[in-house]
Amino acid sequence: MKPLILILFTIFYLSSQAQLFLEISNGYAIPIKKSTLPTPWQNLTTYNYYKQSNSGVELIENDTSYNDIKKSFGVGYNVSGGLTYFFNKYLGLNLGYTYSNDSLTFSKNKYQKSFTFITEYLSHNISSNITEIDYSINSINHKLFAGITLQLPVNKFVPYVKGGITVNNRTLLIKSTYIYDSYNGYHPYAYPRVNNYIVEEYTNPWKLSYSASIGSKYNFKNFAVFFETSFIFDKFKPSKGKIKEVYLEDHTLDSKVPKVGDNITFLDKSEANSQTLGYEIDPWLNTSPGYNNTYSTNRINNSYNFSLVNFSIGIQYKIPSNKTEFLKLNESFISHLFFEISNGYAFSLQKKKLPIPYFNGSENAYLTKEPLYDSINHYYRYFTDHTTIKNNPAKMNFGTGYNINGSIGYYIGKYLGLSITYNYNNSQDDFNNKRAYNYAAGNDYYGNIQGKSEFIFTFYSINKSYILNSILQYPISKHITPFIKLGLSRSTHVIYVNNTNINTDIWSAGSDEFGSKEKYYGSYSLGYVLSFGTKYNIKNFSFLFECRFVFDKYSPPKLYSYNYYCKYSTGTYGSVPPDHKTELEDYNGFDNTIQNSMPETRYKNTFAFSTISLNLGVQYTLSFKK
């Protein structure tokens, strides 16, 4: 009888002090250990230079570099939510969920293989081809956690430890893109002929792992702010694999690649070789033109390390357990309506490569020193002795420059709030020169320019955004209030391009000039926003400084071309096409229209808009006490 009374007393004692808490947090994970990826996921660069002689084509130079890829998985930003039930002030039970995606990380997740072949012929022509295979590797992770928390309150500070088991549902995605460039000695630039990709998906659902955490929280009236360091110990070995997506611009490969839904076959490392895998270096090489092989779906069944250290910050909110607590909480709230304006300057967080024809490059063709006999046309003339080509992608961010903001918001108590912000940005007000320039020139043997064709592109954008923010602030004195904001943005963008083409030669008194304008527009983009700063309060006014991180990108569906002109060196004007809409195309390889003086073909692309901005502003608050 006594043991039963003791058990009932313990249950009553614990339940009388029980509290339920809601938790949300955001964190960033770094790896404890990286994984070495198996074939075909390696970095590899091969360069071969051939020269024609009387006996045929001979290999003159070979340069190959190779290194394994060591990759982190599960790293980067993550978001968590859950419930904690405290039986008393020392012991609690946790249930939680965490989502993470490797694409939201500063860690590298793109790798490349490159095969370059250059041949110089006796006719003084040069041909080359470059095969690139680019890999993008990331994981998507869903985790359910159950564990126990032990804490020891020290005034308002509460250090704690936490331990438990995690049930993981992981998906590993590997996108491999095959790009083939060619140059035949006549066209001024090398453009990709094909751009194809395959996405493979590896899974092994709902596997157990374990984790341990240490942290501390600071208690306010009804909520606490906590910082936590977690150690997660886990490995992932896929049990299933399939082809998730296939995209082909070169349809000669249709019969050589797998279909969406086809299964991946996993082989043990002891069984894996070039025969069982179906390839020696990479399955894409077996699908190259001239090969009869197909893209192999055999893969080495590798184990991937997901052991991590995660640093997170979050809020723990005490849920009222009875009517009295709820009414007391409601009466203590003071609601504030506020208005805010600010101005600032945005810097680039990320730049993306622009599509053709917007790139920086040059081609210089040099003639032979002396005329050579043309055996076909039976006269002496100058041939092309050699050609030099330098191409560099133009990388830009279109969200930079001055911006102006207006907000309306509502504080719930003195710690939490919501706001809607309108942001306007015109990237013309940017210190950075948004410009791409390329040219082709013909030179004599000594480098004197005989003729030159220049393409000049200048850019700017107009951007309008609405941001929905959640706000956490903590007044540390009468005048100083630090704050953090987490938000989602919906933005519209218009990207403007000024095109100029100038053609000159030594036989003309001036230059022929052609030009037009373009604007990319349509649809909208969704992004997320993280801000932190501080306010200096003077009665109902506050002066604020804010540092805002915006993570956004934009893929316009439409293009409008207008304001064409054509001016010849003689001072006369030529006919031009009317203003019109231009269809954006999927990139499908080499396109001769890009060589025209007024290039028309334009391709679908994703433009970078991720920025960090520094803003100064003023806030006015209206107060109402319930």
Q: Which of 7-21, 150-164, 612-626 has the lowest mean pLDDT?
A: 7-21
- C-alpha radius of gyration, the chain, whole number: 31
363-386 pLDDT, tens digit per residue, is: 888 888 888 877 777 778 878 888
C-alpha 278, offset from chain centre: 32
Alpha helices in 152-203 (DSSP H): none
Whether the full predicted model's pTM is greater than 0.85, yes or no, is no
The residue among 47, 46, 41, 71 whose CA lies nearest residue 134 is: 41
Mean pLDDT computed over 449-475:
92
Provide the pLDDT for residue 9: 41
The residue among 435, 580, 554, 437 whose CA lies nearest residue 493 is: 554
CA 171 vs CA 100, 109, 163, 259, 555: distances in Å: 11, 15, 25, 19, 26
Provide the pLDDT for residue 138: 84
Q: Who wins on pLDDT, 516 or 50? A: 516
Q: What percent of the chain has pLDDT over 90?
A: 35
Helices (H) and strands (E) in the chain — how many of each? 3, 41
Q: Which residues pair with 517 in a beta bridge?
A: 498, 562
Mean pLDDT computed over 549-568:
90
DSSP 379: E
71-97 pLDDT, tens digit per residue, is: 888 888 888 999 999 999 899 999 999
The residue among 117, 103, 123 whose CA lies nearest residue 381 is: 123
Provide the pLDDT for residue 146: 95
Q: How far apart are CA 345 and CA 615, in angstroms?
A: 7
Q: Which residues pair with 312 in a beta bridge?
A: 27, 228
Q: How far apart are CA 155 and CA 243, in angstroms?
A: 56
CA 45 vs CA 116, 133, 574: distances in Å: 8, 10, 48
DSSP string over 192-222: EEEEEEEEEEEE--SEEEEEEEEEEEEE-SS
Is residue 3 pLDDT above 60, yes or no? Answer: no
Tell the residue number behind the tokens 């191409």, with chain if given.
Answer: 391
Provide the pLDDT for residue 222: 75
Q: How far apart are CA 297 and CA 200, in angstroms?
A: 9
Is residue 112 pLDDT above 80, yes or no? Answer: no
Q: Who wins on pLDDT, 417 or 510? A: 417
Q: How far apart are CA 99 and CA 82, in angstroms?
A: 12
In angstroms, the first-to-last Cα distance of the chain is 53
Q: What tokens were used for 367?
A: 């003639």
Residues in the chain: 626
Which of 8-22, 33-47, 171-185, 322-336 is the most confident on average? 33-47
Mean pLDDT of the chain: 83
- Structural domains of the chain sorted by starting position, each given as residue range(s) with its CATH number in brackets: 334-626 (2.40.160.20)
224-257 pLDDT, tens digit per residue, is: 889 999 999 888 999 899 999 888 877 777 888 8
pLDDT-derived band at 11 (thresholds 50, 70, 90) equals very low
Provide the pLDDT for residue 123: 63
Backbone angles phi, psi at 87, to 5 degrees: -70, -35
Q: Who wins on pLDDT, 550 or 126? A: 550
pLDDT-derived band at 55 (thresholds 50, 70, 90) equals confident
The residue among 252, 118, 116, 250 whose CA lies nearest residue 184 is: 118
Q: What share of the chain is helix, strand, coil (3-state, %, to 5)?
A: 5, 65, 30
355-364 pLDDT, tens digit per residue, is: 888 888 888 8
Is residue 27 pLDDT above 60, yes or no? Answer: yes
Is residue 107 pLDDT above 60, yes or no? Answer: no
Specify the DSSP element, H or E, that contains 42. Answer: strand 42-53
b/e for 589-598, b at 16 or more Cβ within 10 A?
ebbeebeeee
C-alpha 396, offset from chain centre: 13
CA atoms in the 13 A half-sphere facing the CB of 424: 5
Alpha helices in 262-410 (DSSP H): 274-277, 323-332
The residue among 132, 115, 131, 135 whose CA lies nearest residue 176 is: 135
Q: Who wins on pLDDT, 613 or 55? A: 613
CA 463 vs CA 301, 348, 404, 427, 544: distances in Å: 46, 15, 11, 8, 23
Provide the pLDDT for residue 626: 47
Mean pLDDT computed over 286-307:
83
Mean pLDDT computed over 283-310:
84
- Using DSSP's 3-state secondary structure scheme, residue 184 falls into coil
Q: What tokens were used for 52?
A: 């024609």
CB atoms near residue 340 (< 10 Å): 20
The residue among 530, 528, 467, 525 whose CA lies nearest residue 491 is: 525
CB atoms near residue 64 (< 10 Å): 10
Is residue 175 pLDDT above 70, yes or no? Answer: yes
8 Å CB contact between 399 and 414: no
b/e for 168-185, b at 16 or more Cβ within 10 A?
bebbbbbbbbbbbbbbeb
Is residue 5 pLDDT above 60, yes or no? Answer: no
Q: What tokens were used for 224?
A: 């606490």
Tell the residue number behind the tokens 């806030």, with chain if given.
Answer: 619
Q: Who wins on pLDDT, 111 or 388? A: 388
Specify the DSSP element, H or E, that contains 8. Answer: helix 2-16
Q: What tokens were used for 422?
A: 């309108």
Is residue 2 pLDDT above 70, yes or no? Answer: no
Q: How far apart are CA 457 and CA 528, in angstroms?
A: 30
Q: How far apart are CA 429 and CA 163, in angstroms?
A: 52
